[in-house]
Structure 1
Amino acid sequence: MKDSEAFRAAVRARAMSMLAGDASPYDPALEILGLASGGLPVDDGDEAGNWLALIWGELTDWFELRPAERDQAEAHMITAAREWLTIEGDQEAEAHYFDRWLHDILGFERRVTPPTSGAVDVTFGCQGPADVLAPARPTTVTSRAKRQ
């Protein structure tokens, strides 16, 4: 996959398969994570892959690490896929989608660092790469579902 259009088409296909309802959304969710984690697309400035990797990584981890909550995790996967298909391609809507899923639903902390060039840099509340798997957030996944 060399460009963001091919990447986005592949993500769309997996998201659409989740909505078909034929099987668990876990496998297509894992495929989206794989596509997004591949480091692409970086050639044209499309950062959707970065944010999608965080979202789908959290959702698939939820499914894998908390078997008792798999139904909730799957419901969130389907919702995330449905919403992505609705807003994909609209940069402003995508920004709201990423903000909502990463911060409001999945609980990544909003951190505002002091500006160095007159702009405000909003980053995640992670200390380093290892913290991406354990961001600052409520301790139970159940609380995630209640926030929706």
Structure 2
Amino acid sequence: MRIMGMDFGSVTVGVAISDPLELTAQGIETIRYVEHKKNLLFERLQELIKQYEVDSIVVGLPMDLVGTETARAQASRGFAKSTRRKFHLPVDMWDERLTTAAAERILIDADLSRKKRKKVIDKEAAVLILQSYLDKKRMEKKRDE
């Protein structure tokens, strides 16, 4: 069992995958797409879902600092709905507040150039989204035991 995490943007989707025990998230790739050719995006996601034997998906939900959805949230919700329909997998939305800023700090601390950061920031944001989801899931499981 693995979970796929995604940071959905207007031109890229960052993708991360959990390990089989659902303890850690690893960045896989950043997929560039064109709005009117989303079928290519979904084809690549299908390949990754099959390759990693994904059984559920988490999509980042853009929120502002006070916890209300941003204008980008509707696009993310639409993407999650399309993803659920295309792949017949459960899709959860997860608060992605500050993940891009945190990803940027991590990449700056790793001394990546601005050009290199731009190529991987969405993938790193997907890792942060998925890892926080996994951590919360693990905490809830412990609490219920």
Output the TM-score relative to the length of structure 1.
Answer: 0.25
More helix by share: 1
- Higher relative contact order, structure no. (Cα contacts within 8 Å, ≥ 6 residues apart): 2
